[in-house]
Structure 1
């Protein structure tokens, strides 16, 4: 059995998933443990709640890994937890995971965005920093944005609170003029979506058989 916790990173996940993958909303503390208890042997974590809800607990991930459950992470909360739990067997996928693993990304807020509710398809109201960086990198590589402008725009984006970070505010605060705005909107690279699709593909390829591997570490269980 396979399940993926996903929301704003890939709002149309239910239409893109394989038939054997269950889609659930972004995970909060206890959801991973609950999925393990329900018998899921392959779990994908993309999006997760935070700020007003307790986030996914590392210990519930480690519990699953300790009993042979394969747990994948990408894009957002999943990429962050995968970078933190990779040494224990969690499987990280995608560019955002690589950023956290290598230290290029260090802040939880780098993947955060303000979005609408599930009922409306999680519409994005702001731009996550990881998408800003991916977009600026792509536009710089194709010659559309010179190095100096690219650096100014990234600094501008990093200085904006994630709930207020839009392309319009990034450009306004940069002092570079509004002429760049259509280019940035048109050239937007949604790296969180790309990573989430990679996770779905990896889980589709994965065998559903329980792992027989015994980890080299031992989990000390708390009282759940």
Structure 2
């Protein structure tokens, strides 16, 4: 069991073909939500994906044509068009254990519907309660807020709800019920999953950049991001231009001059592919991995000590000064050198180099 899903979690290398992933809760306010394309990519790898209860139900309703499996009452309501808004399942989550701190609208609707069917309130009162609670911002719809409104609009409902929650603290929690349904269903499924839609794939350049950002590999220095290891080679290996040229030759670029080929044929390499990553890291040494890990640690320490620091904020002029020194070219030659090293110009090279600047400057200071 893992924390609420967020963008990038499905790239976890522990998720392999034949596995089943159950998506229930997810983040989407303070961090990017899991994207539809990530789920499509996961399905295409013969991973069964089930959604229920919360963002899982929402994504399953949106992606059922792609083979994502939806379960539970919340999913059914989205699939049938009874529910439409994201706010129906939104809750504020505890920063400690991700526990829900507020009531989602789907629980409000469930409890109000139960009260109406048991003649605790009438249809008019049910409508007023639901409308009043729907107007409360999701992060403010705590049980206390629910009770303040119900106490004012329907005292009989308030007393009834008190008794029901005293007997069962999960009373009316349709999301919890759906989550348990999905987990039990996943455990009972037989046979390995297959690609639900023939030809299902997602391989745009933007998607590959997302996948590359989360590609990791265990090394002697712990888990290191593959994109940073490759970036370290692009920046600091004097002969990386040869590595990149050999990589481009596989794309049919051997008939062009290197400078032209690098500028015209510049694929976004798939760093989730082990063979591609190994090809681009062909000249990487143990010392390179150690430096990459050390530079990452320098950034982490700087962020801890100085709350306002983050590598992305390092001035572009400072990064370019480092690149001119490392590549031994003048500022006018940075653009061409960047293309020859696999970057789409100096701007992309600057972005890739920023995580190494602070560590590099510390090394230079130590030498002086």
Quickly name the TM-score band, shorter chain normalised.
0.7 to 0.9
Q: TM-score, normalised by structure 2?
A: 0.50
Q: Secondary structure at the match of 2:22?
A: strand
Query: Where does 1:64-83 land on structure 2 (aligned, <5 Å)?
Result: 64-83=42-61
Which residue in the other structure is 2:351 paired with? none
Distance verdict in 2 for CA 1:109–1:35, change over 3 Å: farther
Establish whether residue 181 from structure 1 lines up as the match of residue 158 from structure 2.
Answer: yes
Quick check: 2:23–2:56 contact (8 Å CA) kept in 1? Answer: yes
Q: 1:32 & 1:182 partners in 2: Cα distance? A: 44
Partner of 1:11 in structure 2? none
Question: Residue 125 in 1 paired to residue 101 in 2?
Answer: yes
Deviations 1:144-171 (A, max 9, x none): 1211111110001111100111344345
1:221 maps to what in 2? 203
Corresponding position of 1:193: 176
1:159 to 110, 135, 149: 135
Matched, 1:150 2:126: yes
Larger proportion of helix? 2
Q: What CA distance in whole angstroms lies between the structure 1 residues aligned with 2:100 and 2:158?
A: 17
1:113-152: CA deviation from partner (whole Å, max 9, x where unpaired):
1232344xx4432211000001111111111121111111
TM-score w.r.t. length of structure 1:
0.80
5+ residue gaps in structure 2? Answer: 165-170, 212-368
What is the count of residue pairs matched by the alignment?
A: 199
Deviates more, 1:164-173 or 1:131-140: 164-173
Shift of 1:33: 2.5
Moved more, 171-180 or 106-115: 171-180
Match of 1:139 among 96, 109, 115: 115
Change (3 A) 1:185 1:29: farther
Indicate conservation of the 8 Å contact 1:74/1:93, yes or no. Answer: yes
Pairwise CA distance, 1:36: 6.4
Whose radius of gyration is greater, 1 or 2? 2
Q: Supply the distance in 1 between the matched residues of 2:49 and 2:184 (Cα, whole angstroms).
A: 14
Identify the range of structure 1 (89-98 vs 65-74) with the bigger mean alpha-carbon deviation: 65-74
Classify 1:179/1:31 alpha carbon distance in 2 versus 1 (closer, same or farther; 3 Å): same
Between 160-169 and 179-188, the greater mean CA deviation after superposition? 179-188
Report the counterpart of residue 323 of structure 2 in structure 1.
none
Aligned-residue RMSD, C-alpha = 2.2
Is the CA contact 2:40–2:200 (under 8 Å) kept in the aligned structure 1? no
Q: 1:4-24: CA deviations, max 9, x gaps?
A: xxxxxxxxxxxxxxxxxxx11
Q: What's the offset of the Cα at 1:40?
A: 6.0
Aligned-pair CA distance for 1:189: 0.2
Structure 1: any 5+ residue segments left out of the alignment?
Answer: 1-22
**Greater mean deviation of Cα atoms: 167-176 or 190-199:** 167-176
Equivalent positions of 1:1-224 (< 5 A) are 23-34=1-12, 37-38=15-16, 41-119=19-97, 122-170=98-146, 172-173=148-149, 175-176=152-153, 178-187=155-164, 188-207=171-190, 209-211=192-194, 213=195, 215-222=197-204, 223=208, 224=211
Q: Residues 127 and 162 of structure 1 are in contact (CA less than 8 Å); yes or no, is this contact kept in structure 2?
A: yes
Q: Deviations over 1:54-96 (max 9, x none)?
A: 1111111101212221100000010000001001100000011
Distance 1:147 1:157 in 2: 16
In the aligned structure 1, how far is the partner of 2:92 from the partner of 2:35? 22
Partner SS state of residue 151, structure 1: helix
